[in-house]
Amino acid sequence: MTESAASFTRPKTAAFDRLYTFHGGLKLPGHREITAARPILSAGVPATLVLPLQQHIGQPAESLVQPGDTVYKGQLIARQVGTMSATLHASSSGTVVAIEDRPVPHPSGLLAPCIIIKTDGLDRYLEQTDAAADYSHMDRGELCDRIRDAGIVGLGGAGFPTQVKLGRCERRLELLLINATECEPYIACDNRLLQERAAEVIEGVRILQRVLLPDECIIAIEDGMTAAEEALRSALASGNETGIRVTRVPEIYPTGGERQLIKVLTGREVPSQGFPADIGIICQNVGTTAAIHDAVVKRQPLLSRIVTVTGDGIAQPQNFETLIGTPVSHLVACAGGYTQDVERLLIGGPMMGYAVADDDIPVTKTLNCILAVSHGEMPAPPPAQPCIRCGKCTAVCPADLLPQQLYWYAHSSNLDAAQDYNLFDCIECGCCASVCPSHIPLVQYYRHAKMEIWAREKQKNSSDHARQRHEARLSRLDRIKQERAERMARKKQALSSDGGSSDMKKAAIEAALERVKRKKEQAGTPPKNVDNLTPEQQQLIAAADERRQHKNESD
């Protein structure tokens, strides 16, 4: 059923017309001036694409191609597995040369299964249409299907499958919140996206409004993003859009965190281990919103994203439109290569990012920044010292946790106690570590504790599954044994019952003997041609036949 435009108009349940504050946070220098002022450039088509099968929260996608297959741009090469998963498409044309474990962007530095495509440089679509789709006649189900089939996930960094988030709200949706804040230093990909493609972002918001039917819609933008705000307001005015508001929020890190942004705009707290949908709010990143526009209007899956390449270790800092699977080394080369001062390479910003050993890793759907820093720009931290219980980490924690207690429990592997102190509410923003006078890498301890808990839970689930299978097998064998005993008991009862005469018993026995005799005759040796045998051989065969006949008659 197609909803009319009038169905978007609802009575307001909340004004959302004032700003609040969240606990903690830091005021950080931006370092975005250069990249935010430069237009987005295309990174082109690299010689090789490395496409990890897991670029999202949930189950890895399942490959649909084999080495040697020819693929085209936009072709589905891996399907989602279960609900919490996302599809994967070839971001350019070429030949699949391998499906193997490769390094991927992750703090652990571990390998993961990837589809390797040697590109042909032609960037060919299997089939492409330039006609824009009219979504005004599509119902909510069809729009969600297009978003799901496009393989869209949260481009802000979490990688939550977008179709799952859209289906989570089981109550009336009060607010659709579009997150355009880039609170972490150096990152400017969303800022530049709004400056150049504000109209596409607004169109994506309208699609989300049609799917979710919210009471209100707010695009949140930071105070310092003046050019992006002007582009947004201009796009809203040209489209006579009155159902979308642009609201500026202070440049306090980490205002861009989903829970913190909701607190700033609504004053509400997302429940611990809960979701914004539990309080009638759904939040989408501005890059995700633009991808939704491309999926529905252009009928194009998620094939590329904007990546900021910056830092004193980069010769020409820039934002690039980058194909998913492009090696980081290719992007660095597009930005003029490294400078002589480069010391470390980080994936992400300086607060939540992590160092990598080399640039032999691909750009994924959730990778938004490549940061190459010099020693003077970001000196390596000194060795960690014992915690002095100063409490600075607690004062700046935006999740209002007790970081020092979490550190003690994570350090001593007391994982149950760490969970009691809401370990999984930690957003790993790095505020605590940045103010720690003892230079303790607190976030690393929290990440390790989370991974240990997840591994323990996975092992427990595996053991429970094995135990259930074993118990089910024993139950099945007992049932078969019992059924067999019941059948034998019924036969014995039928033979020994008063209703069965001796003649019937005798007939049954004779019939059984007759069946046995027929089976033996059928199993007998077929006659042989004895003309070519010697007299001695013929005598032996005749004697054997005579013995067999005598045995059959005696039976």
- In this predicted model, what pLDDT tens digit does every residue of 493-503 receive, in sequence order? 776 665 555 66
Give domain status of residue 112, yes or no. Answer: no
Average pLDDT over residues 372-393: 91
- Of 271, 91, 80, 89, the closest CA to residue 164 belongs to 80
DSSP 3-state of 15:
coil
470 and 555 assigned to the same domain: no
Count of residues in the chain: 555
136 and 234 assigned to the same domain: yes
Average pLDDT for the chain? 88
- The alpha-helical segments, DSSP class H, found in 42-188 are 140-149, 162-166
- Structural domain range at position 12: 1-30+132-298
Q: Distance between the two ends of the chain, CA-based, in angstroms?
A: 79
Give domain status of residue 149, yes or no. Answer: yes
517 and 480 assigned to the same domain: no
When divided into structural domains, the chain yields a total of 3
Global pTM reads 0.81
Residue 1 has pLDDT above 50, yes or no: no
Contact assessment for residue 284 and residue 162, using Cβ atoms and an 8 Å cutoff = yes
pLDDT tens by residue, 63-90: 999 999 999 999 999 999 988 899 999 9
Rg of the chain (C-alpha set): 34
Give domain status of residue 331, yes or no. Answer: no
19 and 147 assigned to the same domain: yes
pLDDT tens by residue, 449-477: 999 998 898 888 888 889 999 999 999 99
Q: What per-residue confidence (pLDDT) applies to 404?
A: 94
**Domain closes at, from 298, 315, 333:** 298
Q: What are phi and psi of 256, to 5 degrees?
A: -70, -10
**Domain closes at, from 265, 282, 298:** 298
Torsion over CA: 391, 392, 394, 395 (sign): positive
- Residue 185 sits in a domain whose CATH number is 3.40.50.11540
451 and 534 assigned to the same domain: no
Give domain status of residue 102, yes or no. Answer: no
Contact assessment for residue 186 and residue 224, using Cβ atoms and an 8 Å cutoff = no
Give domain status of residue 359, yes or no. Answer: no
459 and 545 assigned to the same domain: no
Q: How far apart are CA 19 and CA 15, in angstroms?
A: 11
177 and 237 assigned to the same domain: yes
251 and 162 assigned to the same domain: yes
398 and 433 assigned to the same domain: yes
283, β-bridge pairs: 177
Q: Token pair of 312, please? A: 């004193």
Give domain status of residue 241, yes or no. Answer: yes
**Nearest 10 degrees: CA dihedral of 215, 158, 287, 20?**
50
Q: Tell me, what amino acid is at 144?
A: C
488 and 555 assigned to the same domain: no
Give domain status of residue 449, yes or no. Answer: yes
What percentage of the chain carries pLDDT values higher than 70?
A: 89
What percentage of the chain carries pLDDT values higher than 90?
A: 67
174 and 286 assigned to the same domain: yes
Q: How far is CA 25 from CA 69, 273, 422, in A?
A: 50, 21, 18
229 and 290 assigned to the same domain: yes
Give domain status of residue 460, yes or no. Answer: yes
Q: How far apart are CA 459 and CA 465, in angstroms?
A: 10
Contact assessment for residue 39 and residue 196, using Cβ atoms and an 8 Å cutoff = yes
Q: How far apart are CA 257 and CA 352, in angstroms?
A: 11
To the nearest 10 degrees (0 to 180), the angle between helices 140-149 and 189-212 is 140
Q: Tell me, what amino acid is at 412?
A: S
